[in-house]
Amino acid sequence: MLTLAFASAAHAQGAKQPSAAAKDTARTLLLDCRDKFGKNDLDGALKSCQGAHSIMGVPTTGLDLAKVQQAMGLFVEARETALEAVRFDNSANNAAFSQAQAEANKIAQDLEKRIPSLVITVSGLPDGTTARVVVGSDEVPPAALSLPFRVNPGDRTVVASADGFADAKRTIKVPEGQTVPVELVMKPPTSDKPDTGRKIPVWAWAAGGVGVLGAAGAVIFGIDFADTQERVERDCPNNQCGPSYTAEEAQDLQARWNRSLALTVVSATVGAACIGAAVFGIVTAPKKTEQTARIVPWIGRDVGGAIIQGSF
């Protein structure tokens, strides 16, 4: 029957037919498809059947291809292949083709009830903006959104994308013969760039604050010392104050000199040391993604020790 069907394909289609070598190749591929299909090697059977059908394109090759596609759960593809076989022009009344068309019609009718659908809605977009929606590798026409879109049963991944928005994605299980609603909400993109900045320790911030205060104090006390120094040089040359100063006023001026000088030196020293420590803490701070640890001493009533704290 296979030989007869291939031999009469030219007359049935009324068009230029494959060469004898191509027909022989298609015949071999179809037999291989049936053999692998019987052994449940569906991937191998699909490849051979597709090869045979691409050469011949007749109801017999289409029927075998539809059977393999149906067994693999490719209901949408199987029904389309079966309908192509049914629509084939068999005006020559080829018996093999007629039988294949009858079987293909049964497959198409059976799959019509088993093919599920997705009703996809996309929200979150401004008026006038349309999302591009794909189910697996199939793009959903914009006009088909919110309407039943036929898919194969099983796990299906739906992705919606639009300019200026992050992709919305959902993976759902679609049972045979059911209509499943899928809602995708579009949102503006969020930065997923990891924060690789440094994790500056608290003590560095504290040291920096003290350093700034110390520097400010050094400036204030330095101004006061400069003013006192100018007054001493003017009114008390060679440490001898004029008659306008009482002994008590002279001692107060000397005390102000010493106090301003000491506070200026201490403030400058503390400020410089703390600012230096803060800079060291910032420069040597580990990055936030790095492991950090610190030793924290503790003292109990009768004992002491240390613990290690950190992130690993």
- Look up the CATH number of the domain holding residue 61: 1.25.40.10
Instruction: Out of 86, 113, 140, pick the residue that ends a domain.
Output: 113
Residue 305 included in any domain: no
Residue 308 included in any domain: no
Task: Say whether pLDDT at 272 is over 80.
Answer: yes
CA distances from 206 to 197, 212, 273, 292 (A): 19, 10, 12, 19
In terms of domains, do 176 and 273 share one?
no
Residue 294 included in any domain: no
Domain tally for the chain?
Answer: 3
Residue 306 included in any domain: no
Instruction: Out of 80, 96, 113, pick the residue that ends a domain.
Output: 113
Amino acid type, 299: I
Burial class of residue 14, CB neighbours in 10 A (0-12, 13-18, 19+): exposed
pLDDT of residue 11: 47
In terms of domains, do 98 and 26 share one?
yes
Of all residues in the chain, the percent with pLDDT exceeding 70 is: 84
State the average pLDDT over residues 39-64.
97
**Domain assignment of residue 211, given as a range:** 202-286
In terms of domains, do 48 and 102 share one?
yes
Tens of pLDDT, residues 69-97: 999 999 999 999 999 999 999 999 999 99
In terms of domains, do 169 and 218 share one?
no
Mean pLDDT of the chain: 84
pLDDT of residue 307: 45
In terms of domains, do 158 and 207 share one?
no
Task: Say whether pLDDT at 25 is over 90.
Answer: yes
Number of neighbours of residue 248 by Cβ within 10 angstroms: 8
Task: Say whether pLDDT at 278 is over 80.
Answer: no
pLDDT of residue 165: 94
Number of neighbours of residue 94 by Cβ within 10 angstroms: 23
Residue 192 included in any domain: no
Among 93-107, 140-154, 245-259, 282-296, name the one with the lowest average pLDDT. 282-296
Q: Which of 178-187, 230-239, 286-295 has the highest mean pLDDT?
A: 178-187
Closest among 198, 218, 209 to 278, alpha carbons compared: 209
In terms of domains, do 16 and 59 share one?
yes
pLDDT of residue 218: 82
| Residue 141, domain CATH | 2.60.40
